[in-house]
Chain A
Amino acid sequence: MEKFDKLSGIAAPMPLVNIDTDMIIPKQFLKTIKRSGLGVNLFDEMRYDDNGDEIADFVLNKPAYRDAQILVAGDNFGCGSSREHAPWALLDFGIRCVISTSFADIFYNNCFKNGILPIVLPQEAVDVLMKDAEKGANARIEVDLENQSVTSSDGEVFNFEIDSFKKHCLLNGLDDIGLTMKKAASIDAFEAKAQAERPWA
C-alpha cells in the first residue's frame, strides 16, 4: 500500500448527501477479478450518458477537476454496499483523500486498506472547504496527516481526529496482514481456549 503523509491537491466539490457505493462504482464493474483499472468507471452513471459520452456538467468531467486528488462530499459518503471496488475506483482515478461530515463504516475502513485518507470534519468546516473546492483548479487544499490538519486555499486550518493505529499504518504504508501475523501466538492461544470453551464453534 502506498504511504500517505502530505497532499496538496485540487479538491472536487460533491455536496450531494448519501453518495452510495453503487454511485461510486455501479455493479456492472464488479465483475472484475482485479483491483486495478476501475478509475475510468468511477461515478459511471453520473459521469457518462447512455451513449457512453461524458456529461459535461458532472464535476469530474469539468476541466478544472479532471486532476482532482481530493473530494469534498456531503454527509454519509460511501453508504451501502461493502464493495472495496469503490476505494479502488477512487484511487485509480487519482483521489487520495475524501472529506465529509461522516462516512459509512465499511467504506471508511476500506479506504485505509488502500492508502486513501477519509477525513471527518464538522459541517461548518466542510462548508468552508466545499466553497473552496468550488473555486476550481486554482484553489488547492493541503492535507497533513502527521499533524492531522486540512488547510484551505485561504490558509484556514482545520484539525481532524483519526484513530492512532489507522494513522500509523497509513503514514507508513503498512500491510495489516503482516502486522497481524506477528501476533500469531496470541491467535493460537485464543483458538485453543475457544475450542475448549465453545467446541461447537
Chain B
Amino acid sequence: MSPKTLYDKIWDAHVAHEDADGTCLLYIDRHLVHEVTSPQAFEGLRMAGRQVRAPEKTIAVPDHNVPTTIGRENPDQMPEDSRIQVAALDKNAKDFGIHYYPVSDVRQGIVHIVGPEQGWTLPGMTVVCGDSHTATHGAFGSLAHGIGTSEVEHVLATQTLIQKKSKNMKVEITGKLRPGVTAKDITLSVIGKTGTAGGTGYVIEYCGEAIRDLSMEGRMTVCNMAIEGGARAGLIAPDEKTFEYVKGRPHAPKGAAWEAALTYWKTLFSDDDAHWDKVITIKGEDIAPVVTWGTSPEDVLPITDVVPAPESFSGGKVGAAQRALEYMGLTAGQRLQDIEIDTVFIGSCTNGRIEDLRAAADVVKGKKVKDGLRAMVVPGSGLVRAQAEEEGLADIFKEAGFEWRMAGCSMCLAMNPDQLAPGERCAATSNRNFEGRQGRGGRTHLMSPAMAAAAALTGKLTDVRELM
C-alpha cells in the first residue's frame, strides 16, 4: 500500500461515491449546527419536503446571538431578531429530532467547545458545521471544516458533501516553547509566516515536539485558526492525550466499542514516507508571545516589536497595511507595548476553554484590572464556567474586576450585545481582527489568554513575561 498522510486516511475512509473526474461524496459523521447559518437550510428542507437523513449525527446549539448576561433565559434580554433566530433553532431541532442544547441547558456553549466536551468529536471522523472555526475539531485527528448554508442543507438531507480532495501541507513546530509562549502564539505565528491565503487549497497537519507537548485545549486553539491561514482544515494526529481526553465523555464509545475504536484510532497518523505538497517548519524556541497590529490575522508581530511601515510590504499589502494603520489608529514605528486599550475580551472558540481561563487567572491572581478598563471573561460553555467556579478561577477574575459572563460567542463577533464602540481598542483572545469584527469602528488586537490578562492589568499591550 502506498504511504498516506493522516488526511489521506480519513478521506479514503469516508468516500461514499466517486465520479470519474474525482468529485466525491464525502460521508459526514458529525454535523454541528448553530442558529445563524442554519435557518435557511431547514427552510429549504421544508420547502422540498425533505427530512434530516441522520438526526442522531446532528447536534445543534445556539451560541452566536445569545446574551452572556445572567438571567438571559428570559427572552426579553434578546433583541427581537436574535430571539427569532434562536426560536427558529429551537423549533427546527424539535421538528427534525436532532440533539439539542438550548440556552437554558448547563451544557450550552460555543458549538466548537460543546462538541468535544460532550464526546461528539472523535478521532478519524468527518465533522462539519456552518461555521469556519469547525477546524477546531481537527485537534482530535478528525477531518473538520466549515461549510456554507447550502452545504448545511446538503448535509442535513444526504449526510454527505460534494468535495474534491485538498492537497497535503505539513506544519512542523520543532523542539520546546519558551516560557510565556502558548498554543495561540504558535497558531498566530504560523499565519504570520504563511499569510492568510498560504493554506488555500490545503489541509494542514500540525506536528512536531511542540505540538505533541500541547494539551488537547492547546491543540484545539492551534487547529481552530487553520482557517485564518486559509486552509480547509487543520489536523493533529491523535495520541494518548487525545484518548485520555475523550474517554468517559457522554457520547464517547464505552466498553468493547471503546477498545475497538482505540485500535482503529491508533492507525491514524501520517506514514513516514507520505507525500507532502508543502512543508513549513518553525523552531519552537523562535516563537515569541505575539499580538496582531492590523486588520488581518496575518498582521502578527512579537510583542517586543514596533508597528511596521506599510512600505515594508509589497504588492497589494502596501495599501492594505496603510488602510489597516489608519483604521487601527496606529503609526509606523510605534512600540506595540505602548498601545493603550479600553477593553479586554477573554473567551471564544479559540481560547474559551478551562486551560485558557487557568492561564489568564494565573496572571491576574491577587491583582486588579486597570482603572477604567472594561474586562470580561466569557467561558466557552456552561460546563467550563462551572468548572472554573469550582476551581476558584471565577473568584480570581471577579476580585480583579473582570465581568464573569455566561457562555457564548460574545464579543468575538459581537452579534449579541457585547460590542466595541467606534474607536474602542480591545485585547482579545478571539480569532479575527477584521474591520468592525467586534463592533463598527472597534479595534482588535489578537493574543493569548495570558497576554490579554496582562493587558487588563496594565491597560496596554504587555509582554506577559515581564509579569511572570
Contacts and interface: CB of A to CB of B under 8 A. Distances in A.
B435 A22 contact: yes
Given A110-B148, A201-B125, A16 B319 contact: yes
A58 B352 CA distance: 37
B434 to A, nearest CB: 4
Interface residues of A, number: 58
A82 B131 contact: yes
A89 B319 CA distance: 25
Contact of A200 (B16, B81, B85, B257): B257
A11 B436 CA distance: 26
B320 A80 contact: no
A187 B159 contact: yes
A76 B436 contact: no
A2 interface: no
A105 B232 contact: yes
Given A31-B415, A33-B43, A45-B436, A81 B29 contact: no
Contact of A187 (B50, B153, B158, B201): B158
A22 B437 contact: yes
A74 B317 CA distance: 10
Contact of A82 (B16, B48, B50, B130): B130
A79 B196 contact: yes
Contact of B23 (A22, A165, A187, A199): A165
Nearest to B437: A22
Contacts of A163: 21, 23, 164
A113 B151 contact: yes
A128 interface: no
A84 B316 contact: no
Contact of A84 (B43, B148, B230): B148
A31 B81 contact: yes
A176 B163 CA distance: 12
A102 B200 CA distance: 8
A123 B82 CA distance: 42
A191 B15 CA distance: 11
A114 interface: yes
A138 interface: no
B422 interface: yes
Contacts of A75: 197, 315-316
A201 B142 CA distance: 12
B37 A84 contact: yes
A200 B436 CA distance: 42
Interface string A77-103: 001111110010000000000000011
Contacts of B16: 183, 186-187, 189-191
Given A16-B323, A23-B434, A80-B432, A187 B17 contact: yes
Contacts of A17: 315-317, 319-320
Interface in A59-78: 74-76
Contacts of B207: none
A199 B50 CA distance: 26
A187 B260 contact: no
Contacts of A80: 132, 432, 434
Contacts of A103: 200
A124 interface: no
B436 A105 contact: no
Given A16-B323, A84-B37, A105-B200, A180 B150 contact: no
A50 B422 contact: yes
Contacts of B260: 199-200
Contacts of B118: none
Contacts of A201: 29, 122, 124-125
B306 to A, nearest CB: 22
Interface string B240-268: 00000000000011000110110010000
Contacts of B85: 31, 33
A75 to B, nearest CB: 6
A109 interface: yes
B147 A106 contact: yes
Given A17-B316, A102-B200, A187-B160, A79 B230 contact: yes
B296 interface: yes
A184 B50 CA distance: 13
Contacts of A113: 148, 150-151
Contacts of B197: 18, 75-76, 79, 102, 104
Nearest to A188: B16
A164 B20 CA distance: 11
Contacts of B231: 105
Nearest to A126: B316
A199 B319 contact: no
Given A80-B132, A114-B150, A187-B27, A27 B414 contact: yes
Given A22-B435, A22-B436, A28 B261 contact: no
A23 B148 CA distance: 17
A87 B227 CA distance: 19
B27 A194 contact: yes
A20 B37 contact: no
Contact of A18 (B36, B131, B196, B252): B196
A177 B48 contact: yes
B153 A190 contact: no
Given A22-B435, A105-B230, A177 B154 contact: yes
B292 to A, nearest CB: 13
B464 to A, nearest CB: 27
In order of increasing CB-CB distance, the 5 nearest A-B pairs are A113-B150, A200-B253, A190-B16, A110-B148, A17-B316
Given A81-B432, A106-B148, 18 more contacts: A16-B319, A18-B298, A33-B40, A50-B440, A74-B320, A79-B197, A80-B434, A82-B37, A82-B132, A82-B148, A83-B148, A87-B148, A102-B200, A177-B153, A180-B154, A180-B157, A189-B16, A200-B260
25 contacts: A20-B296, A22-B434, A75-B197, A75-B315, A75-B316, A76-B196, A76-B200, A81-B413, A81-B432, A84-B148, A102-B197, A104-B197, A104-B200, A105-B231, A106-B132, A106-B227, A110-B149, A114-B150, A165-B23, A177-B158, A184-B158, A190-B17, A199-B257, A199-B260, A201-B29
